[in-house]
Amino acid sequence: MSVRLAPSVLAADFTALGACVAAAERGGADMIHVDVMDGHFVPNLSVGPQVVKAVARAAKVPVDVHLMIQDPDRFVPAFAEAGASLISVHVEVLPHLHRTIAFIKSLGLKAGVVLNPSTPVGCLEEVATDVDFVLLMTVNPGFGGQTFIPRSASKIRAMRSLLDEAGNPVPIEVDGGIDEHTVGRVVAAGADWLVAGTSVFGSDDAEAATRRLRALAVAAAQERLASARGAR
């Protein structure tokens, strides 16, 4: 499975949002990630469908929307209409997770499920065959610029095993503390899609930062593939 880099505009300069998206794409961004926060499920407010619509107009790559909100079912159609290609929702707020996954898919989007750091992998066992991707938070959600939680690597491996055993080896996305020091570790553990905010848009050159991160991710993915082949 090919590795993908998804710079998060949460850390971008919103007075130059289109230019930030363009810089990340020149650096090789495969998706643009948008973090939507409601101030209830997480202790921060961020953006709504209008910003997603602006990002979708500026972007040439898919827009990956992460809903960190208490009532995602209510707002999924608005984000779909705004131009999202992928929407991920948190297992922690959804009593009827299977229904929400089906709802997102019915709108023609890829449906992902997100797990907070303290949420066990096993909570996805009953929907493991239904998801299009899984997003694992490698920091506590709500704010950018946090430090990667070291135990996340073992959680990535556990999620990879669960998905493989379910016969649905879909991508694992990771979000939180992803930079030049952690990218190799998460890819080696089994991550396929990488969200990076501060390490891209907090740098002096978002294009160069994207290019460096993506190169490191691709190299780590190649090493993972070679290791897997050698183990056979």
- Tens digit of each residue's pLDDT (9 = 90 or more) over 60-108: 999 999 999 999 999 999 999 999 999 999 999 999 999 999 999 999 9
Q: What's residue 67's pLDDT?
A: 98
Tens digit of each residue's pLDDT (9 = 90 or more) over 157-216: 999 999 999 999 999 999 999 999 999 999 999 999 999 999 999 999 999 999 999 999
Residue type (1 letter), 35: D
pLDDT, greater one: 165 or 43: 165
Give CA torsion, residues 211, 217, 223, 229, to 10 deg. Answer: -120
Domains and CATH numbers, the chain: 4-230 (3.20.20.70)
Listing DSSP states for 95-122 in one string gives TTHHHHHHHHHHTT-EEEEEE-TTS-GG
| pLDDT band at residue 128 under the 50/70/90 scheme | very high
pLDDT (mean) for 31-56: 94
- As annotated, the active-site residues are 35, 175
Tens digit of each residue's pLDDT (9 = 90 or more) over 114-126: 999 999 999 999 9
> pTM (2 decimals)?
0.94
Count, in order, helices (H) and strands (E) of the chain: 8, 8
Rounded to whole angstroms, the Cα distance separating 138 from 228 reads 24
Total count of residues recorded for the chain? 232
99 Cβ partners below 8 Å, 6+ apart? none
